Amino acid sequence: MTWILWTLLLFVIVFVRYLLFSGGYHYLFRIKLRDRFRHRIFHYEPERGAQVRREIYRSLLVSLIFAVFGIGMLWLWQAGYTKIYLDPSERSYWWMLISPLAFIFAQETYYYWTHRWMHRPGIYDLVHRWHHESIETTAWTAFSFHPTEAVIQAIFLPVFVLLVPIQTYIFLSLLGLMTLSATINHAGIEVFPISWARIPVLRNLIGATHHDLHHKQARTNYGLYLTFWDEWMGTENKSYRKKRS
């Protein structure tokens, strides 16, 4: 019974975090700063209620799935199976810098290849079509997945913490980064400055322009945070660099 209550509590936390990220992002960039970003807004208007309601409903279910996996990781941690550690001095301080980079690289790799796999004929309709029903994405699209896709995405986290040491607060910060990145990519407004397109590393960050092209054409731009897999595998949309600059 206790674990059920903890799961329900974590479900509320995950869903409320999603609402705060998506709602706050939408209010800030699509309403409050709309005039300043008008030339960088791609599409939808706030009155697209039917799509937004569908996205929030699906995100509610996805939040429950994420909560179940989160409680599973908590149980593994308490049982001593994970490599999550609380005391920063337990590992080298260099590892405090390297471990989040290892996380991002590993998740980027996992996401890119599973994402490409989900676009295969036969797999797409069963797993990924729900997400692509939002052709014109919104800030609320960030968690709008089929339950099977949510499970595929969530599996990465327990596998990573079972294999790779990571400090607790760094791990929690990365969870927040995941939500923020998903919101940025789907909100339909490019917030990364144009000048970043000329700066190494920053030019490879994935934002709304990159992911908007994916939702429009569905056969390119499979990355999550960075463009390197798309560049290496020849799956980057040919018009992306021009649009980004």
Span 200-204, mean pLDDT? 90
**pLDDT in the model for residue 243:** 77
Residue-wise pLDDT tens digits, 136-161: 999 999 999 999 999 999 999 999 99
Q: Which residue has the higher pLDDT, 165 or 48?
A: 165
Per the structure, the count of domains in the chain is: 1
Span 202-219, mean pLDDT? 93
What's the domain range around 35?
2-244
Residue-wise pLDDT tens digits, 21-80: 999 999 998 888 888 888 788 876 655 688 999 999 999 999 999 999 999 999 999 999
Chain mean pLDDT for the chain:
93
For residue 235, pLDDT beyond 70? yes
For residue 184, pLDDT beyond 90? yes
The beta-carbon contacts of 68-77 under 8 Å, at least 24 apart in sequence, are: 68/7, 69/151, 69/154, 69/155, 69/157, 69/158, 70/10, 70/14, 71/3, 71/6, 71/7, 71/10, 72/158, 73/157, 73/158, 73/161, 74/6, 75/3, 76/158, 76/161, 76/162, 77/161
**pLDDT in the model for residue 43:** 74
Q: What pTM, to 2 d.p., does this model score? A: 0.93
